[in-house]
Chains A and B, each alone.
Chain A
Amino acid sequence: MFLVFNTMKKYIIVLVAFTIIVIACRKKVSLPSSFTPTPYELKVPKGFPTPVVPLENPLTVEGVSLGHMLYYDPILSSNGKTCNSCHFNDKSFSSPLFISKTGVKISVPPHVNLAWNPEYNWDGTAPKLDLLPLADFGPDFFNTNMPDLVQKIKNHPKYPLMFKQAFNIDDVAQLTSDELQLKIVYALSQFMRTMISSNSKFDKMIRHEANLTSEEMDGYQTFSTEVGDCFHCHGYPLFTSNTFNNNGLDSIHLGADLGLFIVTKNDFDKGKFSAPTLRNIELTAPYMHDGRFQSLEEVVDFYNAGVHWNSPNIDPLMTKAAKKYGLNLSSTQKANLVKFLKTLTDTTFIHNPAFINPL
């Protein structure tokens, strides 16, 4: 009897020890009680203005990292889509053309140097980058099922800790859907603010690291003088004035062609659209807000001879000297202008390891 008890005692001791070892070796799931994110120092290229970073969403290393991952993760959608579904790396994070469910054609703006934009979307309907991606949760894009998303994030091996580190969130399930969406777009916008392009052939020429060909220089001359008069709306270094202008695309403005008017309801804003950056313009066809031009040659042809001079609110700068509309460029000048525009292509940007898919 004593022997049996003794044997059982040994088994019990071993069992208890084993249980303790198992418990002790279990993966720790508890999150740190508090976490202070590390400020992210945005490297502003020489000559660039101070970027627009709102106080409510400062850049942090952890926030950028979370945004980078979410940018490529289909977890945000119910249809497998990601931000990258419409913003392809090799297109300077744009895509050929988006057609909404109501049939509106939109040339997808590239994600490049967004840290300097005061307003977003062609018609300025998004005043802040930090709110811009909110619309993507809707049926046109991600068609997100929020309860599902909450569970996916909660059960994800990395996201709970990443949300904690980026925003001090202990449990995403404790947030309302709106709050969670806001934190997600905050992270996305932090990542997008880091997507800076400043290493094109033209930049290298400015830094005396490369030379433009004679044809490219001729195009630069056209671009930077009254001959082509491109610089007023697309000047160095951002190659956008970040202003809204009517460049005479149409003589009548209806629907999505009303542009800035959709936001301001000011009649004088009809037909005005955001002047896009020309950085990586070679990669971001089609062109104009509705993608009506398929090539840079078509764009130059439009400015050369296709402007609708009777367009209401056409920008005064579209009237050239002696009341002319159009540039009167020769075929050589036009071709060289396109060659110059292609010197704004930054291949190191689209292949930057900091921006590629981390998943």
Chain B
Amino acid sequence: MKYPFVIAIATVLLFVSCTKDDHIVPPVVKPPQGIDLNISYHVDNAPFVTNSFIYSTQAGYSYNLTTLVYYISEVNLIKADSSNVLIKDYQYLDALSSATNQLSLKDIPVGNYIGLKFNIGLDAIHNKSFALPSTTENVNMQWPDMMGGGYHMMKLEGNYKDLSGTYGFAMHLGTDTCLVPVKLFKSISIIKDAKTAIHLKMNINEWFRNPNQFDFNIDGNYIMGNITNMMKISKNGVDVFSF
């Protein structure tokens, strides 16, 4: 009679062991530390909107905006010893698409940093024809091989008014020469298992001033392929961003 007793005990144990265990607490998975990078746009004191002639360049032209798309690349945190920590290789951004302006950067090394540096446009490694995945955005940013190849660094488009009428402008930057280096200093702390929020702001009017006052009628309303004018805009781009 001892066998049935053993079998009964074993059966009970088997059932108990096979039932779903509700008492196991799953380990708390903390998100790795990172940066929530948010980018917003404005024109001096006015918000960024399209199709409204509410802005003025330093040269005195009333203008509106229709398009602002660009890349940033080699996004680095700057350490106190001037060394860098790469946090993003490149990113396509569309000022009209909120989704592309909210970046979640993960696995950032814990530590204190003194600033952020990146390029507006693609670095030389990525700025080669067909170097990027063939997404619709990348395909539409291609810079023709006959004009040097690679990708547009930026397309800033809109319309401006002068005494004779309304005209379009297209500030298109391309080729490695026109890469815009940006360096911003601010204390940034990356804390273990926590997210650090960084808000970058682009003042679009800075593209048209400092160090070069850009005059659509004198310098040109259409700069693609004109290295002199592209470089003027490129140099102005160094300080378009702020924290």
- Closest Cβ of chain B to A277, distance in Å, is 13
For the complex, give the distance between the alpha carbons of A238 and B134 in Å: 11
Chain A residues whose CB sits within 8 angstroms of the CB of B168 once the complex forms? 314-319
For the complex, give the distance between the alpha carbons of A242 and B221 in Å: 25
- Closest Cβ of chain A to B221, distance in Å, is 6
Contact call B159/A316, Cβ cutoff below 8 A = yes
Write the chain B residue with the least CB distance to A316: B168
Is B50's CB within 8 Å of the partner chain A? yes
Chain A residues whose CB sits within 8 angstroms of the CB of B80 once the complex forms? none
Contact call A49/B169, Cβ cutoff below 8 A = no
Contact call B222/A321, Cβ cutoff below 8 A = yes
Chain A residues whose CB sits within 8 angstroms of the CB of B112 once the complex forms? none
Is B226's CB within 8 Å of the partner chain A? yes
Write the chain B residue with the least CB distance to A237: B139
Contact call A224/B145, Cβ cutoff below 8 A = yes
Chain B residues whose CB sits within 8 angstroms of the CB of A316 once the complex forms? 66-67, 157-159, 168-170
Is B31's CB within 8 Å of the partner chain A? no
Is B142's CB within 8 Å of the partner chain A? yes
Is A11's CB within 8 Å of the partner chain B? no
- Closest Cβ of chain A to B226, distance in Å, is 7
- Closest Cβ of chain A to B95, distance in Å, is 15
Is A320's CB within 8 Å of the partner chain B? yes
- Closest Cβ of chain B to A163, distance in Å, is 33
Is A35's CB within 8 Å of the partner chain B? no
Chain A residues whose CB sits within 8 angstroms of the CB of B142 once the complex forms? 231, 235-236
- Closest Cβ of chain B to A193, distance in Å, is 16
Is A352's CB within 8 Å of the partner chain B? no
Write the chain B residue with the least CB distance to A233: B140
Chain A residues whose CB sits within 8 angstroms of the CB of B14 once the complex forms? none
Write the chain B residue with the least CB distance to A224: B144
Contact call B134/A48, Cβ cutoff below 8 A = yes
Q: Mark A214-237, 1 if CB is under 8 A from B, else 0.
A: 000000110011100001000111
- Closest Cβ of chain A to B242, distance in Å, is 27
Contact call B135/A49, Cβ cutoff below 8 A = yes
Q: Mark B24-50, 1 if CB is under 8 A from A, else 0.
A: 000000000000000000000000001
Write the chain B residue with the least CB distance to A315: B168
- Closest Cβ of chain B to A214, distance in Å, is 15
For the complex, give the distance between the alpha carbons of A226 and B142 in Å: 14
Is B16's CB within 8 Å of the partner chain A? no
Write the chain A residue with the least CB distance to B172: A232
Contact call B136/A49, Cβ cutoff below 8 A = yes
For the complex, give the distance between the alpha carbons of A313 and B224 in Å: 21
Q: Mark B124-146, 1 if CB is under 8 A from A, else 0.
A: 00000010001110111010111
B-to-A contact residues, CB < 8 Å:
50-51, 66-67, 130, 134-136, 138-140, 142, 144-147, 157-159, 165, 167-170, 217, 220-222, 224-226
The contact sample of 17 A-B pairs, CB cut-off 8 A, is A49-B135, A49-B139, A50-B134, A116-B136, A224-B144, A237-B134, A242-B136, A268-B51, A313-B51, A316-B66, A317-B157, A317-B168, A319-B221, A320-B222, A321-B222, A323-B167, A323-B221
A-to-B contact residues, CB < 8 Å:
47-50, 116, 118, 220-221, 224-226, 231, 235-238, 241-243, 268, 309-310, 313-323
